[in-house]
Amino acid sequence: MDALDGWLDVTKLVTGGGGAKTPYDEFASAIGRDCYVDLAGWHLYLRDMAAGAPGNSTFKMSQALAAQLGPQLKKGLRESDVEAVLKKVPVKLGAGKLKTSLYDVMPSMCVGDLARLCEEFSRR
């Protein structure tokens, strides 16, 4: 596993038991509802995209991003901060033949939507 593959500490996501609620469930739901990747015109919403350990579809990208961004919400995240996180998230295409970043496969509008969600949830 290279450094990019280790961007998400899966243990932080699942501590407290497999189906445990996290403080960022509502945030994850909003991310999954509003944000997607665009693959040749097909929209894959982050709630439907697997994240974490290879072959483990239990963790959704929306949950992983909420777990990663959630603790930083109170300090205030700018769009550039969100972009930096997205650039560290690896996305494997073609069963791993090609690897790119989540930032590269998300439309700019969705990156902006994610930054807006961060701002909205930081005020809660």
All structural domains of the chain with their residue ranges: 4-122
**pTM: predicted TM-score of the whole model, two decimal places:** 0.80
Using alpha carbons, list the distances in angstroms from residue 1 to 4, 5, 30, 73, 99: 8, 6, 30, 29, 13
pLDDT tens digits, one per residue of 41-90: 999 999 999 886 555 557 899 999 999 999 999 998 999 999 999 999 99
